[in-house]
């Protein structure tokens, strides 16, 4: 799972342009709210799920298996071919998980996503 904490992180990644633009948009808003050029853990986080991520990766990052994460909202961003999942830790901390809509996405994860789509 890749974490993006500043705009430079996006520039150093090899992302498809629509996905990079989505991450940049989300990160720009979060940085603006935090009044910072780098997103600190107390302010939130932006993560990109990768094909190599497993339940163990998710548990290590979020403290729960994927199907037990209480997302506040899930939406499909068609031009980036990705799902945007938001988890609210408190009023100041928004965790955003971007999940590419790819064939490698486990069926159980896809089921949770489609059931909770906003």
Residues contacting residue 36 through CB under 8 Å, at least 6 positions apart: 43
pLDDT tens by residue, the chain, 118 residues: 999 999 999 989 889 999 999 999 999 999 998 899 999 988 889 999 999 999 999 999 999 999 999 999 999 999 999 999 999 877 778 899 999 999 999 999 999 999 999 6
Cα torsion 7, 4, 16, 73: sign: negative
The structure's pTM equals 0.91
On whether the CB atoms of residues 98 and 46 are closer than 8 A, the answer is yes
């Amino acid at each position: 799972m890749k974490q993006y904490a500043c705009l430079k992180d996006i520039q150093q990644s090899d992302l498809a342009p629509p996905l990079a633009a989505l991450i940049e948009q989300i990160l720009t808003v979060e940085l603006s709210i935090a009044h910072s050029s780098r997103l600190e853990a107390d302010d939130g986080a932006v993560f990109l799920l990768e094909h190599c991520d497993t339940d163990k990766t998710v548990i290590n990052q979020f403290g729960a298996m994927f199907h037990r994460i209480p997302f506040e909202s899930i939406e499909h961003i068609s031009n980036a071919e990705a799902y945007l999942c938001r988890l609210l830790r408190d009023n100041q901390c928004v965790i955003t998980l971007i999940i590419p809509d790819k064939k490698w996405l486990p069926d159980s994860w896809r089921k949770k996503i489609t059931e909770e789509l906003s």
